[in-house]
Amino acid sequence: MQKIGVFVCWCGSNIAGTVDVAAVVEAVKKIPDVAYAVDYKYMCSEEGQKLIKDAVVEYGLDRLVVCSCSPRMHEATFRKCAESIGINPYMVEIANIREQCSWVLKDVAVATEKAIQLAKAAIAKVRFNDPLHPGQSQVVKRALVIGGGIAGIQTALDIADAGYKVDILEKEPTIGGKMAQIDKTFPTLDCSACILTPKMVDAACHENITIHTYSELEAVSGYVGNFDVTIRKKARSVKAEICSGCGICTEKCPARKTPSEFDEGLRNRGAIYIPFAQAIPKVPVIDREACLKFKTGKCGVCSIVCPNKAIDYTQEDELITEKYGAIVLATGFELIDLDKYGELGYGRSKNVITSMQLERLTNAAGPTEGHLVCPATGKEPKSVVIVSCVGSRDTTERGKTYCSKVCCMYNAKHAMYIREKYPNVDVTVFYIDVRTPGKGFDEFQRRAVEEYGVHYVRGQVGKVLSDKDGNLTVFASDLNSGKHLMLNPDLVVLACAVKPAKDARKLASMLTASIDTNDFYVEAHPKLRPVESPTAGIFLSGMCQGPKDIPETVSQAGAAAAKVIGLLAKDKLMTNPCTAKCNEKICSGCLTCTKVCPYGAISGVEKEVITLNGTREKRVVAVVNEALCQGCGACTVACPSASMDLQGFTNKQILAEVDALC
Amino acid sequence: MVITEKEKAEMLSQLAATNVSHCIQCGRCSANCPVAWKMDVLPHRMVYALLNGEADTLLEANSPWKCLSCFACAQRCPKGVSPAAIMEAVRLTAIRSQGGNKLNPNELENYNDKLPQQALVAAFRKYNK
Amino acid sequence: MIYNYYPGCTLSTKAKELDEAARKCAEALGFPLVELPEWQCCGAVYPMASDAIAERLSAVRALAAARENGGVLVTLCSACHHVIKRVNYDMANNKDIQQRVNNYLGLEVPYTGETKVLHYLEVLRDVVGFDNLKAKVVKPLQGRQIGAYYGCLLLRPGQVMSFDDVERPEILENFIKAIGATPVIYDMRNECCAGYMAVTDKSICKQMVGEIQDSAANAGAGEFITACPLCAYNLLENAGATKLPVSYFTEVLAEALGLNEGGAD
């Protein structure tokens, strides 16, 4: 006879405030095989666990039901508790009478009845629990970081410093990301390149770091500790090993009509180019769409001028395969497209620019060598209007519902750049709210107003008109004075919303990492597991998880690295024993299961099996690779002969639960 | 029985059927309004007044009578609020009451015979019951 | 396909040119317009209030009549198009309005927004096709710098009208290209002409029309085309120092198709 113990937790008043716990205990005591039932204030506490252990000894319990919070919270606690007293941890069931009962119900009678039902279902299930034993898998001591911006670089450096190998995968021809484009950083106004490039060099020189630029993720399979990854190294059309990075090819290239991505379209680059002076690697790349040699077969200037004969028009993409124990997503952000905000004049007048374009215009290494000019006229502006929240906090189809978080601070920064260098230029910032939480942040924004004389106007900009001479007219509102304004600035800067990099969705599906409706990667728990994806072995770093500034990104990068190090430090991982299992006796070998398995964990194998009649025969049956199986249960649903079952959640167990409820 | 200002605001709110609680007072409606320069209560203030139950502010404003129903405010609102619908609700509340007509056919501004019917129909619809 | 046609009040009187040219061109381009037998004025302004039921009835009558005759309704005047398309949207999406209107009308089959409302320009773009139109042009309007004036009602609200990009429309510009002229893009092309203020406060019309005229002239336009009789009126009658000529888009279409030569015009 089974001996089931039922332990009903009060969770202080969380459960006991709505559920009559004593009534639950009395109800379950009447169920056959329940040898003991008790309630206690905090079952997860040391005292509570001792109560469970003592009961096991005293009543000879062989399986346990804990009626408490969600199994996500304390299932592990109670399994460990059982194990310590010699009961297989998989002989424990949790009835969630908090999140699914007391927290969502108000009426005590109703909640108590539901708690009893949930307890009965768990008891019905636990009768059919079998002891399960986790297997073990090896951990590959190497990490992959996808994205080579500040988030990816910092994560890689921290992992590498701990002694593990790390590869950085960057789709652009250089690492550095958005931070490389920025002129100065808030709230200290130190030069962005001056603090970023040493980290880029550190990463490039680190013995544990390998950098794959101009490369993309081609395929991923495997699981935590054992990912098999294929990387596509796109053809640069330049032999990196013999190129000296002299750049003469980039100077002589005659095809100069492509807007420079790095300079945000404010100047053109050649078809063969190095994005910026401190690029790593300092090896040019040929943009084959723009290159005359590739388009027409004529030209070949770069090949002629190259002193090292490094140009190779026949170079092909290369596929590299590597094994990794952990993967970090650090894919960063981009600015939203302003196509839908036609009334603001972006694209219609060159004197309406984005904040990122302003960074390039004020940057000494930028297209104007740091001289602030209006792109349409080439003249220094006399007045500048900065518009906040373009596309942020916008719930219509054209915007993003969230606050982009970094704009209020960089608007203050931009206003200060301009006023510092050009004290005669009038700067007006239109804002809805000024949001400056952060160390030294509000003080920074106030300096813009108090010391630099920047005009902050609470209100928004409406239509921006431009005439054929590049003159702008801006209609706006000043909410504090209740006035409708008409201004004639020379330059309008739009602080547009950030959004995740456009390949985030594709990567999410390749890695089975979750994304939210805005395509930001979702963390395993918003408070307690903020740098882990719900998919084991996938970690998150930087803007790809949500809007954040550089200090936050660097902190998160370090946190993600710590989690990766924690994983790589293990020699072996315990695998979840709740995997699918095939009953070979009745498996017909149709292999429907192999088609629905998202993890490629099932294969058809020809083997000798004992049939239901007791005879031996050789035929194809489904075999589950327990290391790959994630226990999703898709195969158990698809199997026409019901020969697939999920251990820990067998059909029998589930039906027993349902029967107990109905 | 006297109708309180709050109740009047509630009625206006029902007529306007636009969700003013979504407004974040950014002022983009006022910035985009082509007749804001003629209005005593700017569109964003009209939205706030409705949210705040200030029916008298709404009913005393000249703004609804200057509004063109051009929908620039609603089109460009980042929160999908329609100040134009509030203007309409105020106009209707005023003209539906006894003696509320605003346009006397005999006192129209001089207009030439090219004026399309459409203009007259529209004006009488907006200003008279 | 049957192109049921709703001309509206102004097109039968003060804006006859808009209507006559439209019918002529439609015939020539292979989509003859069939005027709805008993249409009523659409009311000229869209009734925004949630309780405005009577004000929606004439639009629903036209829509229901079109439903019984093939299910397509073509409009021409911007105001009519705006009112009918928005009421149609209400009938399809607002249960309360749908029910109350149907209670009143007592149609055999309740009307729930089945009719497809097309602006004449949409027929040109999506049925005829601007490339085909271009091929049928016999007298291209070469050298003419035309500023398309959209006004407000044709485009807004974008979600309901779903006519073109609300802030950067291109249908009229593509139309201008098809008839061989040069489109001139100017910033005020989708701002209001001040509409019915022509009756109550001309100072507003003068200010706004002045901005529109100046914006178009500065961008190099030599003339306007529009789809709305009230826009046409305001642009001309309330213009200040800058006064570019205005015609209806159907008039220039007829010109390009060679339908004016030797005819009654």
Q: Where are the domains of chain A?
A: 4-126, 142-231+318-332+501-568, 248-305, 335-499, 580-646
pLDDT (0 to 100) of residue C263 = 46
Indicate yes or no: CB of B28 within 8 angstroms of CB of A461. Answer: yes
Chain-wide mean pLDDT for chain C? 96
CA–CA distance, A558 with A535 (Å, rounded to integer): 20
Chain-wide mean pLDDT for chain A? 96
pLDDT digits (tens, 9 = 90+) for A367-396: 999 999 999 999 999 999 999 999 999 999
pLDDT (0 to 100) of residue C265 = 43
Q: Is residue B115 part of a domain?
A: no
Residue of A nearest to B39 (CA): A484
Q: A267 CA to chain B: closest CA distance, Å?
A: 32
Q: Which residue has the tokens 């070949």?
A: A300
Residues of C with CB under 8 A from a CB of A: 159, 165-168, 185, 187-188, 191, 215, 218-220
Strand partners, A40: A9
pLDDT at C48 exceeding the cut of 80:
yes
Mean pLDDT of A154-165: 98
Q: Is residue B24 part of a domain?
A: yes
pLDDT at A61 exceeding the cut of 80:
yes
Domain's final residue, options C96, C121, C146: C121
For residue A274, how many C-alpha atoms fall within 13 Å in the half-sphere facing its CB?
A: 21
Mean pLDDT of A455-459: 98
Indicate yes or no: CB of A477 within 8 angstroms of CB of B76. Answer: no
**Residue A59 backbone dihedrals phi, psi, to 5 degrees:** -105, 0
Indicate yes or no: CB of B116 within 8 angstroms of CB of C10. Answer: yes
Chain A residues whose beta carbon lies within 8 Å of the beta carbon of residue C218: 467-468
SS3 label, residue A5? strand
* C85 in the same domain as C18: yes
Least confident of A147-151, A419-423, A622-626: A622-626
Q: Is residue B122 part of a domain?
A: no
* C59 in the same domain as C162: no
pLDDT (0 to 100) of residue A630 = 84
Indicate yes or no: CB of A460 within 8 angstroms of CB of B80. Answer: no
Give the structural domain span for B35.
5-97
* C181 in the same domain as C113: no
Q: How confident is the model at residue C264 (pLDDT cuts 50, 70, 90)?
A: very low
pLDDT digits (tens, 9 = 90+) for A65-97: 999 999 989 999 999 999 999 999 999 999 999
Chain A residues whose beta carbon lies within 8 Å of the beta carbon of residue B79: 394-396
Mean pLDDT of A451-456: 98
Domain's final residue, options C121, C143, C159: C121
Q: How confident is the model at residue A45 (pLDDT cuts 50, 70, 90)?
A: very high
Chosen for mutation from C145, C168, C204, C213 (greatest number of chain A CBs closer than 10 Å) is C168
Q: Do domains A4-126 and A335-499 have the same CATH topology?
A: no
Q: Is residue B21 part of a domain?
A: yes
Task: Give C110's contacts (C-beta < 8 A, 6+ positions apart).
Answer: C98, C102
Q: Is residue B128 part of a domain?
A: no
Q: B49 CA to chain C: closest CA distance, Å?
A: 18
**Residue A461 backbone dihedrals phi, psi, to 5 degrees:** -95, 140
Q: A389 CA to chain B: closest CA distance, Å?
A: 9
CA–CA distance, A470 with A374 (Å, rounded to integer): 9
Instruction: Tell whether B57 lies on the interface with A, counting CB pairs under 8 A.
Output: no
Output the DSSP codes for B16-80: H---GGG-----HHHHH-TTGGG-SS-HHHHHHHHHTT-HHHHHH-SHHHH-----HHHHH-TT-
Q: Is residue C265 part of a domain?
A: no
Q: Select the residue of C188, C191, C219 nearest A468 (Cβ to Cβ).
A: C219
Chosen for mutation from B21, B23, B30 (greatest number of chain A CBs closer than 10 Å) is B30
pLDDT (0 to 100) of residue A296 = 95
Alpha helices in chain C (DSSP H): 16-29, 57-68, 78-93, 95-105, 120-122, 130-136, 158-161, 171-178, 197-200, 202-219, 229-237, 249-256
CATH number of this structure's domain A335-499: 3.50.50.60
Q: Is residue B120 part of a domain?
A: no
Percent of chain A with pLDDT strictly greater than 70: 100
Indicate yes or no: CB of C233 within 8 angstroms of CB of B115. Answer: yes
Chosen for mutation from A464, A484, A485, A487 (greatest number of chain B CBs closer than 10 Å) is A484
The correct answer on CATH 3.10.20.30 for the domain covering A142-231+318-332+501-568 is: no
Residues of chain B with pLDDT under 50: none
Q: Is residue B114 part of a domain?
A: no
Instruction: Tell whether B82 lies on the interface with A, counting CB pairs under 8 A.
Output: no
Q: Element (H or E) spanning A466, and its range?
A: strand A461-466
pLDDT (0 to 100) of residue A611 = 83
Domain's final residue, options C92, C121, C150: C121
CATH number of this structure's domain A580-646: 3.30.70.20
Give how many domains chain C has, as a whole number. Answer: 2
Give the structural domain span for C82.
3-121
Instruction: List chains adjacent to chain C, taking adjacency as at least 3 C-beta pairs closer than 8 Å.
Output: A, B
Residue of B nearest to C47 (CA): B88
Cβ density class C55-71: b for 16+ within 10 Å, e for less: bbbbbbbbbbbbbeeee
Chain C residues whose beta carbon lies within 8 Å of the beta carbon of residue B117: 9-10, 13-14, 41, 44
CB A316 within 8 A of CB A526: no
Single-letter amino acid, residue A47: E
pLDDT digits (tens, 9 = 90+) for A469-498: 889 999 999 999 999 999 999 999 999 999
pLDDT at C157 exceeding the cut of 80:
yes
CA–CA distance, A319 with C23 (Å, rounded to integer): 63
Mean pLDDT of A239-264: 96
Question: Bigger pLDDT: A50 or C260?
Answer: A50
Chain A residues whose beta carbon lies within 8 Å of the beta carbon of residue B77: 396
Chosen for mutation from B73, B87, B118 (greatest number of chain C CBs closer than 10 Å) is B118
pLDDT digits (tens, 9 = 90+) for A321-334: 999 999 999 999 99
pLDDT digits (tens, 9 = 90+) for A191-236: 999 999 999 999 999 999 999 999 999 999 888 999 999 999 999 9
* C147 in the same domain as C61: no
Q: Is residue B38 part of a domain?
A: yes
Question: Bigger pLDDT: C44 or A575?
Answer: C44
pLDDT digits (tens, 9 = 90+) for A506-551: 999 999 899 999 999 999 989 999 999 988 999 999 999 999 999 9
CB A593 within 8 A of CB A573: no
CA–CA distance, C214 with C220 (Å, rounded to integer): 10
Q: Is residue C100 part of a domain?
A: yes
Q: How confident is the model at residue A19 (pLDDT cuts 50, 70, 90)?
A: very high
List the beta strands (DSSP E) in C77-231: 116-119, 145-148, 182-184, 223-226
For the entire predicted model, the pTM comes to 0.90
Give how many domains chain B has, as a whole number. Answer: 1
For residue A181, how many C-alpha atoms fall within 13 Å in the half-sphere facing its CB?
A: 20
pLDDT at C12 exceeding the cut of 50:
yes
* C193 in the same domain as C244: yes
* C252 in the same domain as C134: yes
pLDDT (0 to 100) of residue B109 = 63
| DSSP character at residue A99 | I
The correct answer on CATH 3.40.50 for the domain covering A4-126 is: yes
* C171 in the same domain as C62: no
Indicate yes or no: CB of C195 within 8 angstroms of CB of B75. Answer: no
Chain B residues whose beta carbon lies within 8 Å of the beta carbon of residue A478: 27
What CATH number has the domain bearing residue B41? 1.10.1060.10
Indicate yes or no: CB of B30 within 8 angstroms of CB of A459. Answer: yes
pLDDT (0 to 100) of residue A612 = 82
pLDDT (0 to 100) of residue C262 = 52
Calculated CA dihedral for residues C183, C185, C188, C193, nearest 10 degrees = 10
Instruction: List chains adjacent to chain B, taking adjacency as at least 3 C-beta pairs closer than 8 Å.
Output: A, C
Chain A residues whose beta carbon lies within 8 Å of the beta carbon of residue B22: 395
pLDDT (0 to 100) of residue A423 = 97
What CATH number has the domain bearing residue C63? 1.20.1050.140
CB C115 within 8 A of CB C84: no
* C159 in the same domain as C42: no
* C99 in the same domain as C52: yes
pLDDT at A252 exceeding the cut of 80:
yes
Q: Is residue C262 part of a domain?
A: no
Structure token pair of residue A293:
């040699």
